[in-house]
């Protein structure tokens, strides 16, 4: 306990005497953690989106205005089993969009760009490939603007998530390495600037661990502060952008947040221990 109190006291003394030396590293660490929080949040949102879209088989057939939907349903029923369907007029489509994305709806104003569309739910147990073939035939007919099949959207989203995770994992490794180097360099500079004080303490009988503790605390606590500040920036930005995000994105899992904070602290601790180790 005496070592810990001494270490905290020295750390606070250095922090109050030269805060400018710690401000830039803290800013870089905070921005690095901010990026990692967003990466985990977007990956979590994509996973939730895939899970949501994977429930059942359904499609949207977007029609030109004035087109009758019954003939397309009749053709589709010859190739696939339909559980239910409903026609969504442009006003109803705009209301659904406004409910999900109110800020984007306000940007559109009084303009309604949504065409009428048919929402089709297929009976379970059918082959998605057969349904996709039937929908492609429907898409080629006059009066059809576009067809969106949820199964195809899931496949595209899975591929996009895989690429996103590959880039994110590389970025995570890069940011963790950069953070560790920043902490290690900061601690090494601190040890060098206090070399006379450390030497005097060791001559008086202080152990190496006792004299080095303030610098280990400096690296660990600075890394922890960077994680907490990055979390605050993420929560603020997520709140500002909430109206532009799909509802199923929700909030970042507390496990992810806690894991990043703990991981940041451990990276700072390890980098500090490496920095103070003498050859």
pTM: 0.74
For residues 5-16, give the mean pLDDT: 64
Give the separation between CA 129 and CA 131, rounded to whole angstroms. Answer: 5
Q: What is the pLDDT of residue 110?
A: 75
Residue-level pLDDT at 34: 94
From CA 259, how far away is CA 257, in angstroms rounded?
5
Contacts of residue 174, defined as CB under 8 A and 6 or more positions apart, other chains included, come to none
Grade residue 32 by pLDDT with cuts at 50, 70 and 90: very high
Which structural domains are found in the chain, ordered by start? 2-51+158-276 (no CATH), 55-155 (3.30.70.3040)
Q: Which of 16-25, 64-73, 94-103, 134-143 has the highest mean pLDDT?
A: 134-143
**What is the pLDDT, as a whole number, of residue 259?**
92
For range 24-45, the mean pLDDT = 90
- Residue count of the chain: 279
| Model confidence pLDDT, tens digit, residues 110-129 | 778 888 888 888 888 788 88
Rounded distance, CA 244 to CA 140, Å?
33
pLDDT digits (tens, 9 = 90+) for 54-103: 777 888 889 888 788 888 888 888 888 888 888 888 888 888 888 777 77
Write the DSSP assignment of 108-144 as a string of letters: HTT---PPPEEEEEEPTT--HHHHHHHHHHHHTSTTE
Range with the lowest mean pLDDT among 110-119, 152-161, 189-198? Answer: 189-198
Output the average pLDDT for the chain. Answer: 82
- Look at residue 214 in the predicted model and tell me its pLDDT: 75
Q: Identify the pLDDT of residue 31.
A: 92
pLDDT above 70 as % of the chain: 85
DSSP H/E element including 145 = strand 144-149
d(CA 204, CA 130): 83
Quick one: pLDDT at residue 24?
80
């Amino acid at each position: 306990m005496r070592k810990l109190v001494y270490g905290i006291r020295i750390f606070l003394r250095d922090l109050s005497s030269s805060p400018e030396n710690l401000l830039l590293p803290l800013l870089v660490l905070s921005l690095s953690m901010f990026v990692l929080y967003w990466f985990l949040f977007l990956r979590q949102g994509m996973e939730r989106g895939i899970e949501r879209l994977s429930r059942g088989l359904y499609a949207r057939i977007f029609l030109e205005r004035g087109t009758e939907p019954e003939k397309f349903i009749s053709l589709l029923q010859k190739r696939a089993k339909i559980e239910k369907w409903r026609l969504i007029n442009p006003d109803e489509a705009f209301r659904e969009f406004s409910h999900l994305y109110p800020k984007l709806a306000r940007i559109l104003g009084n303009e309604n760009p949504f065409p009428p569309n048919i929402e089709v739910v297929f009976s379970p147990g059918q082959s998605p490939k057969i349904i996709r073939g039937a929908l492609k035939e429907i898409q080629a007919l006059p009066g059809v603007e576009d067809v969106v099949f949820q199964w195809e959207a899931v496949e595209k989203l899975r591929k996009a998530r895989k690429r996103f995770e590959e880039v994110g994992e590389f970025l995570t490794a890069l940011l963790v390495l950069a953070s560790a180097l920043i902490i290690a360099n900061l601690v090494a500079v601190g040890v060098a600037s206090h070399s006379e004080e450390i030497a005097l303490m060791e001559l008086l009988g202080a152990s190496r661990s006792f004299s080095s503790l303030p610098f280990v605390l400096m690296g660990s606590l600075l890394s922890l502060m960077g994680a907490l500040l990055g979390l605050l920036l993420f929560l603020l930005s997520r709140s500002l952008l909430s109206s532009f995000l799909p509802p199923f994105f929700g909030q970042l899992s507390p496990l992810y947040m806690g894991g990043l904070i703990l991981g940041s602290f451990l990276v700072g601790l390890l980098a500090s221990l490496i920095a103070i180790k003498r050859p």
